[in-house]
Structure 1
Amino acid sequence: MTGAYVALEDGRVVEARARAPGRSRGELVFTTAYTGYEESLTDPSYEEQVLTFSYPLIGNYGVREERFESDRVHPRAVVARELTDDVAEWLTEEGVPAVDHLDTRDLVVGIREEGAMKCGIAAGPDATPEAAKEELAQCKGMSEHTDIGSQVSVAEQETHNADGTGPRVTLVDCGAKGSIVSSLVERDAVVDVLPYDATVADVRHADPDVLFISNGPGDPENFEQARALVEEFVGNVPLAGICLGQQVIAGALGGDTEKMAFGHRGVNQPVRDLRTDKVVMTTQNHGYTVSDPGDLEVTQVNVNDDTPEGLESEELEVITRQYHPEANPGPHDSLGFFDDVLALADERVVNTAD
């Protein structure tokens, strides 16, 4: 057993056990999910963060590639009460430092009380408290990455289900989970995935029936080109968005966003529909939220803190969700969102014919 240390922004240095060696730094956040660790670890929205699992045992059903949401692990480091050998070996192969045998309950309470905080991690035979503090010092001196989209987006256009007979969806990849694409393909949509910095000309060439802004990491203000696309096509092409996509679309349509104290990350977030008063359980992973919906109507809210979970405009043909309706991992209560998105395209075809 080799040692590890986690240096926290609040001044504490926590001793732990190294499970995957290395040094790293980032924003320490937590998820309450008790399953779906493979999906969480491969979710691009965790880019540049250090992920803490609040559930005590991570890895009890192994590691299977078919559950991955992307082609690599995205958190800069992983913290857990106990990691199984399967997960530890996977993270070692990925070059992602991981530690366990520490009180994650205490970390989670600290984040809830003080907010997400920076941390530095040193793990392995040469780990020392000083090394973890050095990582923290570098992290605290960094400004937030303003071009984070380049780390999580496709480099060039990809087309999925090219022979499909359903609507054509242009998905702007700001860090999209793979199951967003598969949820659309399962409904026979043709999905053109464009880079996060796609131009107006790129979208015009794709000629979408729906323009879809994906989830992704960090501050929505960093995704200026995606915002420009919304401003250009709103009112002419139906718009949809998930997570970061909701924030980008709201910002482009007169709204605003703000950083949350510790965000929503887990698979048990209750969301109430304001029109039906129905509550569904949702999967979420975001540190920012819409503070002003602008030209959009708030149609769904989080039961715990009333933050906007759904925005819509019938006139502008816009529908967005802050949570992850593709539900990998998580409950399947909101899978119908993808049917609603494609219905926008069908309505556009009917209206154009009229």
Structure 2
Amino acid sequence: MADAYVALADGRVFEARARAPGRTRGELVFTTAYTGYEESLTDPSYEEQVLTFSYPLIGNYGVRAERFESDRVHPNAAVARELTDDVAAWLESEGVPAVDHLDTRELVTSVREEGAMACGIAAGPDATPEAAKAELDECVGMSDHLDIGKQVSTDEPYTVDGGGDYDVALVDCGMKGSIASSLAERGADVHVLPYDVDAETVADLDPDVLFISNGPGDPANFAAATDLVREFTGEVPLAGICLGQQIVARAFDGETEKMAFGHRGVNQPVRDLETDQVVMTTQNHGYSVADPGDLEVTQVNVNDDTAEGLKSDEFEVITRQYHPEANPGPHDSLGFFDEVLSLVGNGSRHTVTAD
């Protein structure tokens, strides 16, 4: 007998097995990754979503904290064909509902055909279909989470020491930890700042690079970060990853849009328009750049031609829609961080001022 239920916006209710009890709601999305479940579950970009794994068995190499991308699990719930006891126990300890023993192939097909959709989940001994439907009724769209940055950003600035060859001001809109560590490994002191940091704070740091991180939700709701990019355009090199690319594009008069079901997985092919080389990438985003504005598109997704890389030589801008830091892989695009730091030149420093 089922002790968990997943209610979808299209009216269907799936019976399942409860692995971690609770009731919740969120946008139902899926990842095609077959490794990296620890990284996915701790990726802040999954905030307010229900993460479905298309790979059937999740947890076959345990749970190790050193692989986490943040200090907590971010999806509102996890769904899989089968979760191991290790992963189920971890999610329960985090207070995150988890269910398995349902047809995830049908869930993934539904999202691919109908788009990411609202869902409600009820799991545990008292779960009922009506409880799952009640959660569904309370679900709001990702673009309606107007201040989602506050849920995932650092409250106070801190620095990741990389040796002091460069100073990077990294605006945390929901940053994966491996972004900061990738920069620190290349000699940068990474000053991690709140998502709504003011221009004066950034100017006081006098950074060599202003970097906008990944994060959840609609880039239109990150007005402070967008204004910050505009403030320092031409003053300091600019970089961004994932949500960061979208924010930078909007600052350069570009436009963003919500995708039908997004890109989430470790097998997304990207073509570089200058070299015609294709690399495999890790991705997790539900919005994309529809119009790059004053920026040049340098890379595109092989499957749907969406913008995967942007640049401006004039203003020293370089961004990626995917995650070059990957973890657990692939590592085809790790050179992005070297490209970012090369914008600084041979140790030359920009003097940054706020208007």
TM-score (norm 2): 0.97
Total equivalences in the alignment: 351
- Superposed counterparts of 1:334-353, under 5 Å: 334-346=333-345, 349=348
Task: Report the AA paired with residue 117 of structure 1.
Answer: M
In structure 1, the partner of 2:265 is 266
Report if the CA contact (8 A) 1:2-1:124 is conserved.
no
Unaligned runs of 5+ residues in structure 2 are: none
Deviations 1:27-84 (A, max 9, x none): 0000000000000000000000000000000000000000000000000001000000
In structure 2, the partner of 1:137 is 137
Instruction: Kindly indicate whether residue 121 of structure 2 is the aligned counterpart of residue 121 of structure 1.
Output: yes
Report if the CA contact (8 A) 2:171-2:211 is conserved.
yes
Deviations 1:269-321 (A, max 9, x none): 00000000000000000000000001100000000000000000111100000
Task: Report the AA paired with residue 265 of structure 1.
Answer: R
**Separation in 2 of the partners of 1:141 and 1:148?**
12
In structure 1, the partner of 2:223 is 224
Identity of aligned residues (%): 77
Report if the CA contact (8 A) 1:80-1:100 is conserved.
yes
Report if the CA contact (8 A) 1:146-1:222 is conserved.
yes
Structure 1 residues 296 and 347, CA gap change in structure 2 (3 angstroms):
farther
**Separation in 1 of the partners of 2:159 and 2:27?**
34
Instruction: Kindly indicate whether residue 31 of structure 2 is the aligned counterpart of residue 26 of structure 1.
Output: no
**Separation in 2 of the partners of 1:345 and 1:253?**
21
- Superposed counterparts of 1:133-172, under 5 Å: 133-140=133-140, 144-161=144-161, 164-172=163-171
Q: How many angstroms does 1:166 deviate by? A: 1.4
In structure 2, the partner of 1:248 is 247
* Partner SS, residue 70 of structure 2: coil
In structure 2, the partner of 1:107 is 107
Q: How many angstroms does 1:165 deviate by? A: 3.0
* Partner SS, residue 339 of structure 2: helix
Q: How many angstroms does 1:2 deviate by? A: 6.0
Q: How many angstroms does 1:206 deviate by? A: 1.2
Task: Report the AA paired with residue 136 of structure 2.
Answer: L
In structure 1, the partner of 2:62 is 62
Task: Report the AA paired with residue 54 of structure 1.
Answer: S
* Partner SS, residue 139 of structure 1: coil
Instruction: Kindly indicate whether residue 202 of structure 2 is the aligned counterpart of residue 203 of structure 1.
Output: yes
Report if the CA contact (8 A) 2:213-2:241 is conserved.
yes
In structure 1, the partner of 2:173 is 174
Report if the CA contact (8 A) 1:254-1:294 is conserved.
yes
Task: Show structure 1 runs of 4+ deviating over 6 A.
Answer: none
Unaligned runs of 5+ residues in structure 1 are: none
Task: Report the AA paired with residue 116 of structure 1.
Answer: A
**Separation in 1 of the partners of 2:110 and 2:194?**
37
* Partner SS, residue 30 of structure 2: strand
Report if the CA contact (8 A) 1:242-1:320 is conserved.
yes
Q: How many angstroms does 1:330 deviate by? A: 2.0
In structure 2, the partner of 1:324 is 323
Task: Report the AA paired with residue 115 of structure 2.
Answer: G
Structure 1 residues 235 and 140, CA gap change in structure 2 (3 angstroms):
closer
Q: How many angstroms does 1:348 deviate by? A: 7.6
**Separation in 2 of the partners of 1:27 and 1:6?**
12
Q: How many angstroms does 1:140 deviate by? A: 4.8
**Separation in 2 of the partners of 1:301 and 1:14?**
36
**Separation in 2 of the partners of 1:298 and 1:348?**
27
**Separation in 2 of the partners of 1:142 and 1:75?**
13
In structure 2, the partner of 1:94 is 94
**Separation in 1 of the partners of 2:323 and 2:142?**
29
In structure 2, the partner of 1:279 is 278
- Backbone CA RMSD of aligned residues: 1.5
In structure 1, the partner of 2:287 is 288
* Partner SS, residue 135 of structure 1: helix
Q: How many angstroms does 1:349 deviate by? A: 1.5
Report if the CA contact (8 A) 2:236-2:350 is conserved.
no
* Partner SS, residue 241 of structure 1: strand
- Superposed counterparts of 1:306-325, under 5 Å: 306-325=305-324
Deviations 1:116-150 (A, max 9, x none): 00000000000000000000011159972110001
In structure 1, the partner of 2:298 is 299
